């Protein structure tokens, strides 16, 4: 744990497992800052589109990283990200970002840059941070780790209910197979399978899990 008493709650899981909603609700209930790390990888993918760079061309992506300013902050209790001072907004959820974000996220230097920024957030206060490698890589020492899962069928249905045509299974495969920080159930994490649960039930289960993991709430 860091020298100050701030702590991180790590929420990991595959695409469309409901982890963002659960993380947001937990942060509200516990009065913690909510950090969406997927948005950070999405913002880098978005920048490659703006500059017409092939997301799988590592050298080109790295040259771009040298050239852009990535600013991470917090607004109203939630993480924000600016690329050269601009907020990509809703464009982060667009199909062209969905289809290239996993390639960008597989580049070790991209991960290194963003993981540093993710760890710095702990200086601002206690956090709920959601992503793929929070319990395994970003904050491996935190005792508070939850992995939210759901069947592929349920996850696809959730995405299409949001009106999105996201290729979740393709992203999951890429995220699980990559060499650097693949999607895994982190050591010490408790798995919650949300396939048959509504959101309130998942949040209650997550609160109970955090109590079992020793969080005084």
Residues that bind ligand CDP (CB under 6 A): 15-16, 20, 37-38, 41-42, 101-102, 105, 131-133, 171, 175
* 177 is known to lie in a ligand binding site: no
Residue 9 CB neighbours (<10 A): 28
Residue closer to ligand CDP (CB basis): 172 or 211:
172
182 is in an annotated binding site: no
Query: Least CB distance from residue 66 to ligand CDP, whole Å?
Result: 21
CB 183, CB 132: distance < 8 Å: yes
48 assigned to a ligand binding site? no
Instruction: Please count the other Cβ atoms lying within 10 Å of the Cβ belonging to residue 37.
Output: 25
20 is in an annotated binding site: yes
Half-sphere exposure of 172 (CA within 13 A, CB side): 17
Nearer to ligand CDP, 3 or 167 (CB): 167
Q: Which two tokens stand for residue 157?
A: 């249905």
38 vs 125, which CB is nearer to ligand CDP? 38
**Residue 216 CB, nearest approach to ligand CDP (Å):** 27
Closest approach of ligand CDP to the CB of residue 67, in Å: 21
- Residue number, 25 or 132, with CB nearest to ligand CDP: 132
Smallest gap, in angstroms, from Cβ of residue 23 to ligand CDP? 10
17 annotated ligand-binding residue: yes
Beta-bridge mates of residue 74: 79
Q: Is 16 annotated as a binding residue?
A: yes
Closest CB to ligand CDP among residues 22, 32: 22
- Smallest gap, in angstroms, from Cβ of residue 52 to ligand CDP? 21
Strands 8-12 and 190-193: unpaired
Cβ-based neighbours of 63, under 8 Å, separated by 6 or more = none
The stretches of the chain forming alpha helices (DSSP H) are 19-30, 37-50, 58-67, 95-105, 108-120, 152-161, 168-177, 199-212
Separation of alpha carbons 57 and 66, rounded Å: 15
Nearest distance from C-beta of residue 42 to ligand CDP, angstroms? 6
Q: Of 14, 15, 110, which is closest to residue 56 (Cα–Cα)? A: 110
| 48 vs 102 by CB, closer to ligand CDP | 102
* Annotated binding residue 194: no
The number of beta carbons lying within 10 Å of the beta carbon of residue 31 is 9
Annotated binding-site residues for ATP read 13-21
Annotated binding-site residues read 13-21
């Amino acid at each position: 744990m860091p020298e100050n008493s701030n702590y991180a709650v790590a929420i990991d899981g595959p695409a469309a497992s409901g982890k963002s909603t659960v993380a947001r609700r937990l942060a509200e209930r516990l009065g913690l800052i909510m950090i969406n790390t997927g948005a950070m990888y999405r913002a880098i993918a978005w920048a490659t589109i703006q500059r017409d760079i092939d997301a799988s061309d590592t050298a080109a992506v790295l040259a771009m990283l040298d050239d852009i300013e990535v600013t991470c902050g917090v607004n109203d209790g939630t993480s924000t990200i600016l690329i050269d001072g601009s907020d990509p907004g809703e464009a982060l959820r667009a199909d062209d970002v969905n289809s290239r974000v996993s390639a960008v996220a597989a580049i070790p230097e991209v991960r290194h840059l963003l993981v540093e920024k993710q760890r710095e957030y702990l200086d601002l206060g206690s956090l709920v941070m959601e992503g793929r490698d929070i319990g395994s890589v970003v904050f491996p020492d935190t005792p508070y780790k939850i992995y939210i899962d759901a069947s592929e069928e349920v996850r696809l249905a959730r995405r299409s209910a949001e009106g999105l045509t996201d290729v979740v299974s393709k992203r999951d495969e890429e995220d699980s197979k990559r060499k650097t920080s693949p999607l895994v159930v982190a050591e010490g994490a408790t798995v919650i399978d949300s396939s048959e649960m509504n959101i309130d039930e998942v949040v209650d289960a997550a609160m109970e899990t955090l109590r079992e993991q020793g969080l005084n709430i």
